[in-house]
Amino acid sequence: MIKIAERFQVSHFLVFYLIHSLQFGVGVLGFQRIVSEKVGRDAWISVIIAGIMVHISLWMIYKILKNSGGNVTTVHRQILGKWIGGGLSACLALYFCLLAITVLRTYIEIVQVWMFPDLDVWVFTSVFLFLVFYIISGGFRVVTGITFFGVILPIYVLFTFLFPLEFSELNNLAPPLNHSLKEMAQSTKSMSLTIIGFEGLLVFYPFIKNPDKSKKWAHLGVAFSTVIYTLIMMVSLAYFSEEQLQKNVWATLTIWKIVEMPFVERFEYIGIANWCLIILPNVCLSFWCATRCLKDTFKVNQKIILVIILLGSFMVISLTQTREHINMLNDLVGQTGFYIMFGYIPCLFIINSIFRKVKGRKR
C-alpha cells in the first residue's frame, strides 16, 4: 500500500491539466501527414475514434486503481507477485523514459531544421535536462504547477489556426466515410504516438486528492485534447490538398508561415519557441512517472534514480543524430504506446477484475 501525505497531493481538478499536458506535445506539429496517409480526407474521423478509445482506456485505468491501495506498481505486485510484477513495472518505467526522450529529441530536430541548423544537440539537451531535474526535485506539486502554466500560457497559439480558414476549401472534407474499415483502423493506429501519455495516471493516481472526483476532469482533459486535434486536422485538410499534405512533414509549422501580424513577420519562430513551454511539463511528467515507478518497485531514492535516468537520456539523445534514428525512436514509442493502450491496459483490467472477485469470495 502506498500512502501519500495530503501536503504532497494535488487537487482533483488539476488532473485536467496533467492528462492534457501528457497528450498534447510535439506530435501536434506534424501528425496530419501520418494520420491522413491511408484515409486522406477522412483523417479527422480517425482522430475522433482514437479519442474515444482513450476515453475507454481511461475508464479502465480508474477501475484498475480503485481500491488498489496505491498505483500500478501495487497492482502488479498484488496480481503477479514481487518479481514478475516488479519486472513489468520496470518495463513501464522504461516506456516513460523513451516517451520523454522521443518528445525532447523530436523538438530539438524541429529547432534545428526551422531555426538553428548549427545548434549543438548536447548543449540544448544538457540545459533542458538540468531544468527538468530542478523541477522534478521539487516534488509532484511543483511538476503539476509547471503543467498548469504549460497549458495556460501558450493557449493563445490555438487562435492562429483561424488564419488558414480564409484560404481553405471546406468542400475538401466531403464526402466522409469514403474508406474501408481496415484503412480507418490503420489511420487510427497512426494516432498512437500523438495521443499517448495519459497512462501516467497509472503512476500519479495516489497523489490526487479525492481521486473519484477527478474522473470527470480526466475525461475532460482527453476530450479537450481530442477536440483540438480534430479541429487542427480539419483545418489542415481544408487548407492543403492531399498531395501537399503528404509532402509536409510538419504541416502545423507550414500553416503558421501564413500568419501575418503587425508586430511579427515569421510567426512559426514564435510558435516553436512557445512550444518549449508545452513540451517541458510533458517531459517532466514522463520522467517523474519513470522514477516514481522505480522508487515504488525497488524502494530506492527517487533523486538518485532521476540523476541516472537523465544521464542515460542525455547519452541516447546525443547519439541520435540522423532522421532515420529519430524516425526509429518515434516508431518504437508509437508502437509501444499502441500495445499499451489496446493490449496491456485491457488485459490488466480483466486480470485485476478476476483477482478482485476471487479475493472477495475468499473473504
Q: Which three cell numbers stand for residue 200?
A: 501516467
At residue 175, does pLDDT exceed 90?
A: no
d(CA 320, CA 298): 30
pLDDT greater than 80 at residue 18: yes
Q: What is the pLDDT of residue 1?
A: 64
Q: How many CA atoms lie within 13 A of 185 on its CB side?
A: 4
Write out pLDDT tens, residues 4-17: 888 889 999 999 99
Q: Give the pLDDT confidence score for residue 271 in this predicted structure.
A: 84
Instruction: Classify burial at 32, counting beta carbons within 10 Å of its beta carbon; exposed 0-12, middle 13-18, buried 19 or more.
Output: buried
Residue 28: its pLDDT value, please?
Answer: 85
Please give the DSSP secondary-structure letter assigned to residue 68.
S
* DSSP codes joined into one string, 300-350: --HHHHHHHHHHHHHHHHHH--SHHHHHHHHHHHHHHHHHIIIIIHHHHHH
Supply the DSSP symbol for 210.
S
Q: Is the pLDDT of residue 69 over 80?
A: no
Contacts of 123 (CB under 8 A, 6+ apart): none
pLDDT-wise least confident of 19-23, 171-175, 316-320 = 171-175
Q: Look-up: residue for cell 527517487?
A: 302
- Interval 33-60 mean pLDDT: 88
Task: Give mean pLDDT, residues 34-50.
Answer: 86
Q: CA–CA separation, 182 vs 185, rounded Å?
A: 5
Cα-flanking dihedrals φ and ψ of residue 353, to 5°?
-65, -45
DSSP bridge pairs for 208: 10
Q: Which residue has the higher pLDDT, 145 or 183?
A: 145
Whether pLDDT at 59 is above 70? yes
Q: Does the pLDDT value for residue 232 go beyond 70?
A: yes
Contacts of 336 (CB under 8 A, 6+ apart): 95, 98
Query: In this structure, what DSSP letter does residue 25 have?
Result: S
Q: What number is the average pLDDT over the span 257-262? A: 77
Is 90 exceeded by the pLDDT of residue 210?
no
User: Count of CB atoms within 10 A of residue 122's CB?
Assistant: 12
Instruction: Using alpha carbons, list the distances in angstroms from residue 134 to 127, 143, 246, 306, 342.
Output: 11, 10, 40, 11, 34
Give the tens place of pLDDT for each residue, 132-144.
999 999 999 999 9
Using only C-alpha atoms, the chain has a radius of gyration, in whole angstroms, of 21
- pLDDT exceeds cutoff 70 at 80: yes
Our measurement of the distance from residue 121's CA atom to the centroid of its chain's CA atoms, rounded to an integer in Å, reads: 22
Higher-confidence residue: 258 or 47? 47
Question: Could you read off the pLDDT of 272-328 as tens digits, one per residue?
Answer: 888 888 899 999 999 999 999 999 888 889 999 999 999 999 999 988 878 888 888
Q: Where are the domains of the chain?
A: 6-357
**pLDDT number for residue 90:** 92
Residue 37 pLDDT > 90: no
Q: Which of 54-58, 79-83, 163-167, 295-299 has the lowest mean pLDDT?
A: 163-167
CATH 3.20.20.140 fits 6-357, yes or no: no
pTM for the complete prediction? 0.92
pLDDT number for residue 227: 93
